[in-house]
Structure 1
Amino acid sequence: MRVLKETQDDKDVVCHYMERVLHCIFFLGHINKPKISPDKFLPDGQYEPFKAHFPKAFVEYDTHLPRFGPYSILLEYMVNYLKPESPVSLLNKLVAINKSLWIFEDGNTGPSSNDFMASVVAYCCVKDPDSTEVPKMVYGCSMSCKGSVQKEIMIGVSALHVWDRAISYAVYSEDHGPITFPEHVHCYAYNFNTQRAMRPCNNCVKMFVVNFHPEHQAQCHDEKWPYGNCAENESLSRLLQSDQDVRKDICIVGDNGEKLSGREEIEDMFKEKYEETTDKKVRERLAERKFKVGEELIFFTPSYSI
């Protein structure tokens, strides 16, 4: 947690992201089996000072949902406020952060130090062949939580309330044709474990037609992670939410190259086929883990605005 504190002078910005990270971690600890209470995530003597500084995070972790996982929040901070010059610059900073993440002053680590770190960061952009300008990169990471139920909940929350609906549709409808992006959209991924560029998995190429770098190669085994776990989902979603030209041009194309469904039809299909069942499943899983589910799902809002 020292990462934010040591790299940003604007106190409100630091506190905004810190409070979101704390709340999300406490939420994931609450829905864990067995439960992990907030005090277990903090070094000796720091519980009361943190609680005094970020009281909402300590009160609302079992009633209010996070929209993003801990590493997605860190990545958002790094991109929006440290403004990396290039993907290489950002990745180098993240690699350095990963080596020290959750190391406290006394040398001890948190109870689940690896459970909140993403294994992959993806970034995508639109490359205009007629332009000499460096394209703007949009970033995302894989789900930064451990446990099948935790992932199911966070993927469901993302599909319902965070991702662009085309991404949500692709995640929940892998048998109905991939989402085709405009030809100038490119997508890259980096694996922190191998510290190398990462090819898209079988799941991603079933969900998206886009220029992946490196190109996909058939895997010799089935992936163990669920649809929706990959970093490409968050990255491509952020691109769709920030670039209206790309957003309006996505579609589903048949085997013969014929356009089957456009943007609005994709949104409607998610709403009609998957929205209600996904919402029901998320609520069931939350209730099973003793999260207080009301008539409406409530999301956490940090005390510090930016």
Structure 2
Amino acid sequence: MADPEERRRAEEFLRQDLFRRNAFLLIDKMLELLTQASPDVTALVDEILHTIFFLGRIHRPRVTPESIVGNILNDLMDVFPRPFVLYSSELPRRSPFSCVLDMIVHVTGRENETQIIRAVRELISDPELSQSQDLVSSIICVSHRTDVKDPVKYYGVSMSAAGPMSRKIMIAASCLGSWDEYVAGAVMTYFPTKKKNQNFDGTFQLPESVRCQAFDLREDTDKPPCKSCQNLFGLTSRELTEWVYGNCAEVESLSNLFKEEADVKERARPRSTKYSDEGRVKVERLVKTDVTNWLRLHEFIWHNTTFYTPQ
């Protein structure tokens, strides 16, 4: 029988290797897509580098940028120097696969829903990526108005991280630094315990004139809303599964919709007597304290609670 310590080291090496491989494949794909894109989306590559390096920094065992990018290290540092410096002090605003999705939407055209979903499915069906869920999303969601002709479509993917703790950290970061205030408020009503906050209720009812449809990227099927999405957004659901709040693709998709469609956002304004902007700010402070403490467990000091701004 293998020595327990040897087995632990072998398991840690395997986790490290899976993370490193997925990280490199996603970076390589982003560089490939960049050749098909306009120059104004270079920031997406800058952003995914920082986010992946950050997740490597808090990964157990730790994974360094050098071990991820290998022989393209110098080329990347020449073009994108900031991620290599700031990954150990500034928090990313969202998870890495969201950057991949944005790049695919840019290259494909956001009106081409079928092609976008197909392109993401083809990417995650790569035999090497499919061996591990590290950094890879499994669900995509499309949201848009149904009361106008040729509506703009807004996409989102499920949270992509590398383990339960990094997922919690990225959900907190997205609540504080990325998602629309109403969507973030809804998530923070239940985050991180799955128990509803007794003093604050930011949940809301999505207007009937909005389509919010998720798809399973691995099974090639529609994905009905889970219990969590029903609780957050009033989506009709028969599912009993209650995922970690903030994990689902619906969250990012609706956030992107609300950021651009002010009238839809206003119709979805939280109606609970326990909702107020001041209450949301208080909950944000609690989440900020939580994520700061979680980061300390990984010996990561969040300097001045600063979020990374890609360039």
Q: In 2, distance between residues paired with 1:195 and 1:81?
A: 22
Is 1:228 the counterpart of 2:246? The answer is: yes
2:173 — aligned with what?
157
Is 1:179 the counterpart of 2:188? The answer is: no
SS in 2 for 1:136: coil
Structure richer in strand, relative to its length: 1
* RMSD, aligned CA: 2.5
Task: Give 1:246's match in structure 2, choosing from 264, 269, 288.
Answer: 264
Is 1:144 the counterpart of 2:160? The answer is: yes
Q: In 2, distance between residues paired with 1:94 and 1:113?
A: 16
Structure 2: runs of 5+ lacking an equivalent: 1-26, 191-195
Contact preservation (8 Å) 1:64, 1:300: yes
2:286 — aligned with what?
277
Structure richer in helix, relative to its length: 2
Q: Read off the aligned partner of 1:158 and give its amino acid letter.
A: S
SS in 2 for 1:170: helix
2:21 — aligned with what?
none
1:92-145, Cα deviation, whole Å (9 max, x unpaired)? 1111222349x6xxxxx8xx96311111111111101xx5x2222111111110
Q: How far has the Cα of 1:248 moved from its partner?
A: 1.2
Q: In 1, distance between residues paired with 2:30 and 2:280?
A: 37
Per chain length, whose mean CA-contact separation is higher, i.e. which structure has more relative contact order (CA < 8 Å, sep 6+)?
1
- How is 1:12-91 mapped onto 2 (pairs within 5 angstroms)? 12-13=39-40, 15-43=42-70, 45-91=71-117
- Using the size of structure 2 for normalisation, the TM-score is 0.80
Q: Read off the aligned partner of 2:114 and give its amino acid letter.
A: V
Q: 1:10 to 1:165 in 2, by over 3 A?
A: closer
Q: In 1, distance between residues paired with 2:291 and 2:146?
A: 37
- Using the size of structure 1 for normalisation, the TM-score is 0.81
Q: How many pairs are equivalent? A: 275
Q: How far has the Cα of 1:251 moved from its partner?
A: 3.6
1:190 — aligned with what?
215
Contact preservation (8 Å) 1:26, 1:37: yes
